[in-house]
Structure 1
């Protein structure tokens, strides 16, 4: 009677697939927009920290304070991620992380080519993000199995960073930065694909994860550029 009609189950599956794709695209789009927005308080925090020469805690005690505040923000973000308050906490967190860039930026700006090094690190980070996000979006390969290995890598980096607070070994510092760039670049693949595969449906949580990836790549790359190309003349 209806030669052009499809079985109801097929129609339902098609609609469900379209709805899932639309939801995924919406989460990914909102994540990218919020990620771009989060750069504004980061830059503002960094500018205030550098221009006002705010004192920053250093050493083991400073690291502990930083971790307590950072994890406090992240806990608050996760608790409020389904409301506008989650966005406010996220932007507050990115402002705080901008302030935490102060020592690294002031050290880099001590080089005669410091501004160039910062822009190079920014451009390099943007390129890494663009490449990794594009691969995660277009590839058929499943990166979900990398999660446990990447978390283990983060633990190793944290332990090495804590040890180097006391050891102050330049070689270890370089190794940590190289490892961080590799691990957090892989994390971009993992985090973006989680959104695409429906493993992450909240754009605030997704933004937090990708922001941390980008932040760690930038700081590690800037550290390496300062060592390799910093000019004191």
Structure 2
């Protein structure tokens, strides 16, 4: 940024720690809260734009273009399935690489929106296997979870980042177990996996919200460029987008009694 607002003498910050309490430094200038709110607004705007794209693509393929899409999957076979599954993952890694350098913010946004469209293709398969009631219930509960955990993440004084690595390790374990269960076909294990994923990503929403705030202050303190700030906003939007998407999909499975999984 060209002008670092934390150079203002009215902002009472000493180093990285509070000299009296030894705790994390506290920012008391209301101007900083205003700038942080604008940054959160940018993150949310990008995230909801991605959600809108995913929603439109998934609806388009699951309903108006259902027969055409099913025919594509049938004729494409394994290649089509692998393309739909792994294309978004490749784009996620590209975005992660670009977020950590002054790559073009326009390119990063384009990648994010393309990835959102790809996930729309993946989600359409789930929607085709689900009833409308399950989808509506999952949508409502997802919105409530996101709202509540966002409030927690932005306002809690507890450090939610300490358990982040543990959560990711558990998630990797859950994914491994779910792959094994493809062959075991244990209904009980499927329910355990669903609720484990729901719990992990619910917690990650709060953790990611807190991490957005922490990252914003770190970037401001380091004098990061506007391009870097925008790239990290896009990356933060991706984190929240994936949290919401995973919660929504697992809730569809829970409300649908596992029909969408089958």
Q: Which category of TM-score, normalised to the shorter sequence, fits these structures?
A: 0.7 to 0.9
Count of residue pairs the alignment pairs up: 217
**Equivalent-residue separation in structure 2 for 1:68 and 1:96 (angstroms):** 9
**Residues 57 and 120 in structure 2, CA contact (< 8 A), matched pair in contact too:** yes
Q: Paired residue for 2:121, among 99, 110, 127?
A: 99
**Residues 60 and 165 in structure 1, CA contact (< 8 A), matched pair in contact too:** no
**Equivalent-residue separation in structure 2 for 1:183 and 1:61 (angstroms):** 31
**What does residue range 45-194 of structure 1 map to in structure 2 within 5 Å?**
45-51=57-63, 52-53=65-66, 54-55=69-70, 56=73, 65-81=83-99, 82-108=104-130, 114-194=131-211
**Equivalent-residue separation in structure 1 for 2:181 and 2:258 (angstroms):** 19
Q: Which residue does 1:28 correspond to in 2?
A: 40
**Equivalent-residue separation in structure 2 for 1:42 and 1:143 (angstroms):** 29
Q: Paired residue for 2:235, among 195, 205, 211?
A: 205
**Larger deviation, residues 213-222 vs 172-181:** 172-181
* Coordinate RMSD, CA, aligned: 3.0
Shift of 1:27: 2.2
Q: TM-score, normalised by structure 1?
A: 0.81
Higher helix share: 1
The alpha-carbon distance between structure 1 residues 60 and 159, as it changes in their structure 2 partners (threshold 3 A), is farther
Q: Which residue does 1:217 correspond to in 2?
A: 247
Structure 1 residue ranges, 4+ long, deviating more than 6 angstroms after superposition: 59-63
Q: TM-score, normalised by structure 2?
A: 0.73
- Which structure 1 segments of 5+ residues have no match? 1-8, 109-113
